[in-house]
């Protein structure tokens, strides 16, 4: 695992923590230079679209494109001006116009022609969202590939199933991995669908009518969208924030799915369980005082993210309630919230991909754990067999008595079963041996693993039936 993705992430404002709670790729997609780059991409595409439609001079569009260099913007000065203006677009347009004016004063007249501040900010947000999600997707696919391999390799590796944190009935490690794979994959599909739905240009002018373009606004919007490889919405979405909120919700669901994986693995990595072991190595998961420690660091990050994400999603949902044609405050609440959610999601995806790739899987510990309840987890198997003769309620009640006897006497359930006349009248010694074998009571575990792998390979094209 290369740690460079984490070490160099961040904008400098909180770089010590950014190293844990974002990745380099997503930070690069969301930093100041990326924001300026995508805002300039909007302005260039707008000028080129309007030139192609003979609304502004072609030469003006060429000068605007030539001057679109983010490094030419004084970021600290822009930040100070944004604090006074209430958004970054107003001073950005002024600064960019000045850059063009230095090249060609006539061309500068046509910068931002017919657009408004929200058009450039929202469209830039969508472009950054797409780039950030593509980076997250790469780590998710790496994670999914590893989980799919575990599902296949451990399709028959038996371990205790646990309900309410107690041993229940046997399951397989392959089926557990299939569950993690399904949760992460479906969350990724949901996120990709939400981003695809939201990937529309924002272009509405001052109040969503594009009146300044003399009836040609829809033409310009279509050409602008084509150049940015975005969709064209039915109308401007200045205060219609459902698609953006859906992206935030999808990110929150993904963080929850990754948190589920992290919770299960961290529980399995406990010293008393040790069915899996955290990645080890110099500087990874150690303790400042205890040389022997091997902590599940990736799980800790993913669980932290899963704890933080719901509040950020709630902010995006609250920000949907925006006033009339252009909102006051709700729109502003999205600017830091969505990037924060993307950064956190990226950290969780990368950390869990690294964890699952490098963790140790311990089938011997899983096998040993099967015996910790001394056969009690097979009580349901025996009960269901006896139910064919005694009825479900009577068989269940009998096994409750016998399991308590086994615990009280500190013997195996197998021992008690072989001594009880009510059981031996129905079940032979061979029957009891068969029913006490965890590998013989796995139901459809193998089939579920196969179905999960098929659904993953089909890329989400199968509906629930």
Residue 245's pLDDT is: 98
Measure Cα distances from 39 to 78, 346, 395 in Å. 13, 23, 70
**Is 294 noted as a catalytic residue in this protein?**
no
Residue 221's pLDDT is: 98
| Separation between Cα atoms, residue 145 and residue 173, nearest integer Å | 16
Nearest to 64 by CA among 106, 120, 23: 106
Tokens of 377: 């987890």
Measure Cα distances from 461 to 12, 140, 141, 258 in Å. 42, 18, 17, 22
| Separation between Cα atoms, residue 51 and residue 147, nearest integer Å | 51
Residue 20's pLDDT is: 82
> Which is the catalytic residue, given 287, 318, 392, 457?
287
| Separation between Cα atoms, residue 435 and residue 444, nearest integer Å | 16
**Is 266 noted as a catalytic residue in this protein?**
no
Find all residues with CB under 8 Å of 149, minimum gap 6, and list them: none
User: pLDDT tens across 356-384, in order?
Assistant: 999 999 999 999 999 999 999 999 999 99
Residue 285's pLDDT is: 52
| Separation between Cα atoms, residue 417 and residue 382, nearest integer Å | 9
pLDDT in tens, the chain (465 residues): 445 555 444 444 577 777 788 899 999 999 999 999 999 999 999 999 999 999 999 999 999 999 999 999 999 999 999 999 999 999 999 999 999 999 999 999 999 999 999 999 999 999 999 999 999 999 999 999 999 999 999 999 999 999 999 999 999 999 999 999 999 999 999 999 999 999 999 999 999 999 999 999 999 999 999 999 999 999 999 999 999 999 999 999 999 999 999 999 999 999 999 999 998 755 455 544 545 568 899 999 999 999 999 999 999 999 999 999 999 999 999 999 999 999 999 999 999 999 999 999 999 999 999 999 999 999 999 999 999 999 999 999 999 999 999 999 999 999 999 999 999 999 999 999 999 999 999 999 999 999 999 999 998 655 555
| Separation between Cα atoms, residue 214 and residue 441, nearest integer Å | 73
Residue 15's pLDDT is: 76
Q: State whether the Cα torsion 401-402-406-409 is positive or negative.
A: positive
> Which is the catalytic residue, given 62, 186, 263, 326?
326
| Separation between Cα atoms, residue 115 and residue 117, nearest integer Å | 7
Total residues found in the chain within this entry = 465
Task: Outline where DSSP puts E strands in 285-406.
Answer: 360-361
Find all residues with CB under 8 Å of 199, minimum gap 6, and list them: 126, 130, 230, 231
| Separation between Cα atoms, residue 251 and residue 271, nearest integer Å | 32
Residue 8's pLDDT is: 41
Residue 463's pLDDT is: 59
- CA torsion 80-85-89-92 (nearest 10°) is -40
| Separation between Cα atoms, residue 58 and residue 107, nearest integer Å | 9
């Amino acid at each position: 695992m290369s740690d460079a993705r984490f070490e160099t992430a961040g904008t400098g404002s909180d770089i010590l923590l950014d190293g844990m709670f974002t990745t380099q790729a997503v930070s690069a997609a969301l930093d100041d230079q990326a924001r300026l780059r995508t805002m300039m991409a909007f302005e260039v595409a707008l000028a080129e679209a309007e030139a192609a439609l003979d609304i502004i001079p072609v030469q003006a569009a060429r000068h605007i494109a030539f001057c679109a260099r983010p490094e030419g913007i004084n970021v600290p000065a822009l930040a100070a001006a944004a604090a006074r203006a209430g958004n970054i677009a107003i001073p950005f347009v002024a600064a960019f116009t000045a850059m063009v004016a230095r090249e060609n004063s006539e061309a500068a007249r046509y910068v931002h022609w017919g657009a408004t501040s929200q058009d450039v900010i929202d469209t830039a947000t969508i472009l950054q969202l797409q780039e950030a999600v593509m980076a997250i997707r790469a780590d998710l696919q790496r994670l999914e590939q590893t989980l799919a391999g575990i599902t296949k390799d451990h399709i028959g590796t038996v371990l205790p199933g646990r309900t309410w944190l107690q041993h229940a009935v046997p399951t397989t490690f392959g089926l557990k991995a299939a569950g993690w794979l399904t949760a992460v994959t479906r969350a990724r599909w949901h996120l990709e669908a939400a981003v695809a739905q939201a990937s529309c240009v924002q272009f509405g002018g001052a109040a969503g009518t594009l009146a300044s373009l003399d009836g040609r606004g829809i033409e310009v919007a279509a050409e602008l969208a084509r150049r940015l490889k975005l969709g064209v919405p039915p109308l401007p979405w200045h205060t219609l924030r459902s698609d953006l909120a859906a992206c935030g919700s999808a990110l929150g669901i993904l963080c929850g799915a990754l948190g589920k994986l992290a919770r299960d693995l961290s529980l399995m990595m406990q010293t008393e369980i040790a069915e899996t072991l955290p990645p080890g190595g110099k500087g990874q998961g150690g303790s400042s005082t205890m040389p022997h420690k091997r902590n599940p660091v990736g799980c800790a990050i993913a669980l932290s993210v899963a704890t933080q994400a719901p509040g950020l999603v709630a902010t995006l949902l609250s920000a949907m309630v925006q006033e009339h044609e252009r909102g006051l405050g709700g729109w502003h609440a999205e600017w830091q919230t969505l990037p924060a959610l993307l950064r956190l999601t990226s950290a969780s995806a990368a950390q869990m991909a690294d964890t699952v790739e490098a963790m140790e899987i311990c089938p011997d510990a899983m096998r040993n754990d099967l015996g910790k309840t001394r056969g009690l987890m097979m009580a349901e198997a025996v009960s269901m067999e006896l139910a064919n003769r005694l009825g479900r309620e009577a068989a269940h009640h009998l096994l409750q008595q016998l399991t308590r006897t086994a615990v009280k006497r500190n013997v195996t359930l197998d021992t008690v079963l072989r001594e009880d006349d009510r059981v031996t009248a129905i079940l032979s010694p061979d029957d009891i041996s068969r029913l006490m074998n965890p590998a013989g009571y796995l139901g459809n575990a193998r089939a579920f693993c196969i179905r999960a792998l098929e659904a993953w390979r089909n890329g989400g094209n199968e509906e629930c039936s």
